[in-house]
Chains A and B, each alone.
Chain A
């Protein structure tokens, strides 16, 4: 069908890398033709599984009567832990603390107890409600305070970062203050809920279509529960309907249950939880309590920070170790602390097991850092932006992070200055103060906050990737790599890299679904690393093939290899030009291998967790945002009116996709810090388990004035793929500007003399409480 392929203009002046091309699936998205797992043509004999859940948060399972479940219409089978041929264990960090099905200990409300398989999904859902479980109920520990009171059991070893003598530096500081901040969690609310479709094959083979960011882990988990080798399990995912970290480990359960059912029944089995069950079962962003003490001087310079980061981790470890580590790695944001001590407290609670979520603890660490700045600003009477600037990394002896990695690519100062100028920050601040003097009820606020985000998995071995590239004899290319597509445009970016490498059009490249059968031992598509790792791996494969083609051409036409160059659609060989397809066909006839794997391992990085020292990040991504808000001091309602963003993508691989990541990440972060509130009742039941009760931003929540610019002429100083920078997570933290703009508006009711200490999420209720608190402080000070 070569004639049906699109042959885009291969204009030589406009390289494909760096072009604002549309998402590879854009046309399919808008036509409803992009296939998600629930859309794939269903195999014959498909059955449907559904998971039955505990309805207490803590205790022991005394009995589980499934007779009514088994007898329900359409039911084919019921699965409990006894039906697992392998291990009843899907602990992603190998702590053996996450069974597929509970056998005795119940550790959170909504913990899977069994699964039922029926002819239809509706029958399976109905049947799952018919189980009769009895429990010996124990009081649940639901939050950080309760877990601490009960002794503070940790799910994993805590981390301590320390540099300098904090006690001494605090004692020597002119001024000191202590405080505490609560930072809420966040549900991922990917629009496509968790789903898996397992298809049994011969010899114990199992193919699972899984909506996962981490096919290799799902592969290992499925093999582990089935009791076989990873080589018998293939995991495939063409695209997810959103992931955001929520499908890094949380897809394991659904894939494993589907595979167990498929194995038992010898039929294909699909498992898709209802939205409410998805939200009840799966982990979320960790909520934190940060307790801090800061030493500083009258000029707003921070001398010492001592802080403890306690996180509600939920019932098992999952990724809570690395998440709380990353909170500590970002407890500095862009600021140098001359002496610092930071400790994590990853607490076990009887709630869902919190997990990866865009930023992976970094946002919570940075929210704490900005609170420190704000505390110092109000204590000294200085403008918060001035305090930010005075504490930035940079200058003699001011470049070492709390984890002893120097910040070598610091550009936050330039980014802040440029944004401050472009968005007219100072004069708007004046105008807002003037408005507030005249407006007794509605108050406006403005804030500018920077972002510095470390790029690399802190689990150093994760920083590797593979790719597989085939060139067919008609010159078309099949592209595969270990990264997964969840909307972030990774497939498109990597395809652009490959197209440019060969000098062919994107229409010549078939982007293929991620599968463990083609590229093995992959890392999760996470930590913003997708295009850095997979772009490089794919380029490596292309370079291997190009080297073979170059050698062939050099030999065939008796030219030096240096005389051979790949141009758009053709190859220059000395004075000749050969069409790309022609060269491929000649190479094939000459028995040149036209397929290659590619591999990449991020250089430079290392990390010694015990010592709290190392170079965990290859580089940092920067940005800054200025937000302006209006609040209603009678109700706490607010509106984000204007946001200006300047963000560092290095040399962007695709500015349209990167802009989409910045805007979308910002709004997601804004939701986290404003209206997205997770509420559990005293029994440990999640009360915000559906969009009717859990409120992510809608269209009208985005700022009406929303100026987003990519930092220009700022190539990555490190040798990343085309000198670009990772963009998945960093923009989320630009939204911290909204929290601080709200805080600024609140502070106006106390004439900016009292720190509002606005916790997150800053719901209208929290804003109103802060208004009343600041008013009371101002009254008392009279």
Chain B
């Protein structure tokens, strides 16, 4: 296999300035670099775990011929992952004459700051909105600010500021005006080389192709694969772990691809949760709603579908939904030529048929890469333990579309509605036969066990029954055999069991009596619209 050239610097634009870094701790956070190395202290550290948004900056990246500007948490983003990006911090916003940017002015005019510590983060989240979107509903503003905590204002004046940002001024905005020049500069920086950089002790790699990734992972089996770093970032900032080496997947454009394959969607592992939401919304509006509530906007921008799955969290929001939909994972690794390929794969692994392989083939071909697919539910073995073999990485997730006549439901129950982790997540899929009897049932839960898990007894209780209250009662009766959940800071075991059962009731009502209001979110908006 051709080994791509190595580039031993990281290059990005900080505002107008080209920054080149030749040596760097692989997990140096962007926030520490900004505040300590560059003394740009406008971005604040509130939590160092990507939950409060005080560190929010805007990172622009090339997406074909256009720029995509995203609000991200600088506190859990690793500095070398900025390669090829356009980085904007709050210090960039004032106009050359010293006047405030319209986004800043709107915040001042609406009394949007009190203590001011969260304010730069809000300003940057609003800047990303301003750069990307023309019309803003209150819902959209709330979503975009879900990852920004304010303890003083109660948010009302900040929402007002977002509504006040004058769309007309956007066209004259200097960030919009200079975008073509930025695109040209970033294109000139883009290359297919693997980045290799370190601080003399620990190392960071960022390959640009799947093949280069496969080789790196094979060569460094102990490497930590980093996608959005929305969890790995905390291993560093909270766990104080010294990861070595780090292999970053964000430069591999092919892994971001989302394609419609007819009966299923193929979501590249590095597709972020914003893109995933857009794709899954076509399958079910409930998926759209669930993904709307996935983390905060910064986490949705950074976090990826592959990371969410490969991370193996028992409470990840996506796996229950994807298990209920019958999704499969596409895993890849470097082919070990000395091995017979069928020896490499064991256990409950389903070999992908060859014709499927063809559709999975990367542009560079699958020469040297060995691939398999596996049912997503089989991937999760135990708490934080997955069926990922040495050298293997998640390449894509294949999500079947809902066939006609099937019923699907997803509910995320959390203490706080937005930017919270599920206490219980339930995702349900039913197939009915011609006699309206349940022929297949997939009831997948998060938060009920050490892994995202199907309720097999409850599923079995449904088979052969009509979808009605008796079926739900039978299923609920069986549910206790499926789960022995824990009590923790999110919920008690008793609550989890009660809600797990009640979600089946909600599913029945929503599918058989859709005129009944069953969700508190959006209720008022609906009522207001009459």
Of A126, A488, A631, A695, most buried by chain B (CB within 10 Å of CB) is: A695
A189–B47 CA distance with the chains assembled, in angstroms: 10
B505 within 8 A of A: yes
A771–B56 CA distance with the chains assembled, in angstroms: 40
The chain B residue with its CB closest to the CB of A662 is: B154
Residues of B within 8 A of A718 (CB): none
A321–B322 CA distance with the chains assembled, in angstroms: 54
Query: How far in angstroms is the closest Cβ of chain A from B390?
Result: 30
Residues of B within 8 A of A274 (CB): 48, 237-238
Residues of B within 8 A of A660 (CB): 111, 114, 152-153, 157
A36–B142 CA distance with the chains assembled, in angstroms: 27
Q: A32-B42, A439-B517 are in contact. Are A275 and B499 (CB under 8 A)?
A: no
A22 within 8 A of B: yes
Find out whether the CB atom of B47 lies under 8 angstroms from the CB atom of A275. yes
Q: A31-B94, A487-B115 are in contact. Are A192 and B44 (CB under 8 A)?
A: yes
Q: A26-B111, A635-B413, A635-B503 are in contact. Are A242 and B151 (CB under 8 A)?
A: yes
Residues of A within 8 A of B107 (CB): 26, 29-30
Tally of B interface residues using CB under 8 Å: 92
A543–B104 CA distance with the chains assembled, in angstroms: 38
Query: How far in angstroms is the closest Cβ of chain A from B315?
Result: 11
Find out whether the CB atom of A687 lies under 8 angstroms from the CB atom of B488. yes
Find out whether the CB atom of B111 lies under 8 angstroms from the CB atom of A22. yes
Query: How far in angstroms is the closest Cβ of chain B from A518?
Result: 22
8 Å CB interface, A472-529 against B: 486-489
Identify B509's interface contact among A189, A241, A441, A659, CB under 8 A.
Answer: A441
Find out whether the CB atom of A276 lies under 8 angstroms from the CB atom of B238. yes
B464 within 8 A of A: no
Residues of B within 8 A of A463 (CB): none
Residues of B within 8 A of A663 (CB): 153-154, 156-157
Find out whether the CB atom of A27 lies under 8 angstroms from the CB atom of B108. yes
Q: A189-B151, A764-B415, A768-B499 are in contact. Are A31 and B100 (CB under 8 A)?
A: yes
Residues of B within 8 A of A486 (CB): 115
Scoring B residues 31 to 66 as 1 if CB is less than 8 Å from chain A, else 0, what string do you get?
010010001011111111101101000000000000
Q: A632-B520, A638-B520, A691-B51 are in contact. Are A768 and B152 (CB under 8 A)?
A: no
The chain A residue with its CB closest to the CB of B518 is: A441
Identify A25's interface contact among B116, B142, B505, CB under 8 A.
Answer: B116
Find out whether the CB atom of B240 lies under 8 angstroms from the CB atom of A31. no
Query: How far in angstroms is the closest Cβ of chain A from B185?
Result: 24
Q: A699-B148, A699-B158 are in contact. Are A191 and B520 (CB under 8 A)?
A: no
Scoring A residues 653 to 681 as 1 if CB is less than 8 Å from chain B, else 0, what string do you get?
00011011001111110000001010100
Of B91, B113, B159, B505, most buried by chain A (CB within 10 Å of CB) is: B113
Identify A668's interface contact among B51, B52, B154, B509, CB under 8 A.
Answer: B154
Residues of B within 8 A of A276 (CB): 238
Identify B54's interface contact among A191, A636, A659, CB under 8 A.
Answer: A191
Find out whether the CB atom of A702 lies under 8 angstroms from the CB atom of B90. no
8 Å CB interface, A85-130 against B: 122, 125-126, 129
Grouping DSSP codes into helix (H, G, I), strand (E, B) and loop, the A interface class, with mixed when no group exceeds half, is: loop
Of A486, A699, A763, most buried by chain B (CB within 10 Å of CB) is: A699
Residues of A within 8 A of B14 (CB): none
B72 within 8 A of A: no
B290 within 8 A of A: no
The chain B residue with its CB closest to the CB of A32 is: B42
Scoring A residues 332 to 346 as 1 if CB is less than 8 Å from chain B, else 0, what string do you get?
000000000000000
Identify A699's interface contact among B105, B145, B240, B523, CB under 8 A.
Answer: B145
Find out whether the CB atom of A763 lies under 8 angstroms from the CB atom of B415. yes
B146 within 8 A of A: yes
Residues of A within 8 A of B100 (CB): 27, 30-31
B417 within 8 A of A: yes
B208 within 8 A of A: no
8 Å CB interface, B83-141 against A: 89-91, 93-94, 100, 104-105, 107-109, 111-120, 123, 138, 141
B149 within 8 A of A: yes
B516 within 8 A of A: yes
Identify A32's interface contact among B43, B146, B525, CB under 8 A.
Answer: B43
Find out whether the CB atom of A33 lies under 8 angstroms from the CB atom of B506. no
Find out whether the CB atom of A126 lies under 8 angstroms from the CB atom of B520. no
A293 within 8 A of B: no
Residues of B within 8 A of A28 (CB): 116
Query: How far in angstroms is the closest Cβ of chain B from A277?
Result: 10
Find out whether the CB atom of B154 lies under 8 angstroms from the CB atom of A191. no
Query: How far in angstroms is the closest Cβ of chain A from B95?
Result: 11
Identify B117's interface contact among A192, A244, A634, A702, CB under 8 A.
Answer: A192
B354 within 8 A of A: no
A192–B151 CA distance with the chains assembled, in angstroms: 10
A34 within 8 A of B: yes
Residues of B within 8 A of A38 (CB): 35, 41, 44-45
Scoring B residues 393 to 417 as 1 if CB is less than 8 Å from chain A, else 0, what string do you get?
0000000000000000001011111
Q: A189-B151, A442-B517 are in contact. Are A488 and B114 (CB under 8 A)?
A: yes
Find out whether the CB atom of A765 lies under 8 angstroms from the CB atom of B117. no
A534–B100 CA distance with the chains assembled, in angstroms: 32
Q: A191-B117, A487-B115, A699-B146 are in contact. Are A634 and B524 (CB under 8 A)?
A: no
The chain B residue with its CB closest to the CB of A20 is: B111
A241–B114 CA distance with the chains assembled, in angstroms: 9
Scoring A residues 673 to 713 as 1 if CB is less than 8 Å from chain B, else 0, what string do you get?
00101010000000110111101111111101110100000
Find out whether the CB atom of A439 lies under 8 angstroms from the CB atom of B516. yes
Residues of A within 8 A of B488 (CB): 679, 687
Identify A240's interface contact among B47, B89, B115, B519, CB under 8 A.
Answer: B115
A420–B418 CA distance with the chains assembled, in angstroms: 31
Identify B489's interface contact among A39, A659, A688, A696, CB under 8 A.
Answer: A688
Residues of B within 8 A of A488 (CB): 114
Find out whether the CB atom of A692 lies under 8 angstroms from the CB atom of B49. yes
A642 within 8 A of B: yes
Find out whether the CB atom of A765 lies under 8 angstroms from the CB atom of B491. yes
B502 within 8 A of A: yes
A189–B51 CA distance with the chains assembled, in angstroms: 12
A220 within 8 A of B: no
The chain A residue with its CB closest to the CB of B113 is: A29
The chain A residue with its CB closest to the CB of B120 is: A32
Residues of B within 8 A of A189 (CB): 149, 151
Identify A242's interface contact among B91, B117, B423, CB under 8 A.
Answer: B117
Query: How far in angstroms is the closest Cβ of chain B from A542?
Result: 26
Query: How far in angstroms is the closest Cβ of chain A from B263?
Result: 33
Find out whether the CB atom of B91 lies under 8 angstroms from the CB atom of A32. yes
8 Å CB interface, B432-466 against A: none
A577 within 8 A of B: no
B492 within 8 A of A: yes
Query: How far in angstroms is the closest Cβ of chain A from B149?
Result: 6
* A and B contact pairs by CB, cutoff 8 A, 20 listed: A23-B111, A30-B105, A32-B43, A32-B90, A38-B45, A191-B117, A191-B149, A192-B46, A242-B117, A244-B151, A275-B47, A442-B517, A632-B519, A679-B489, A690-B51, A699-B418, A700-B146, A700-B418, A701-B416, A704-B525
Given contacts A636-B495, A704-B525, 4 further A-B contacts (CB under 8 A): A31-B42, A32-B120, A667-B155, A687-B488
Residues on B facing A (Cβ under 8 Å): 32, 35, 39, 41-49, 51-52, 54, 89-91, 93-94, 100, 104-105, 107-109, 111-120, 123, 138, 141-143, 145-146, 148-159, 237-238, 240, 296, 411, 413-421, 423, 488-492, 495, 498-499, 502-503, 505-506, 509, 516-521, 523-525
Residues on A facing B (Cβ under 8 Å): 22-23, 25-36, 38-39, 41, 122, 125-126, 129, 188-193, 239-244, 274-276, 439-442, 486-489, 630-632, 634-639, 641-642, 656-657, 659-660, 663-668, 675, 677, 679, 687-688, 690-693, 695-702, 704-706, 708, 763-765, 768-769, 772
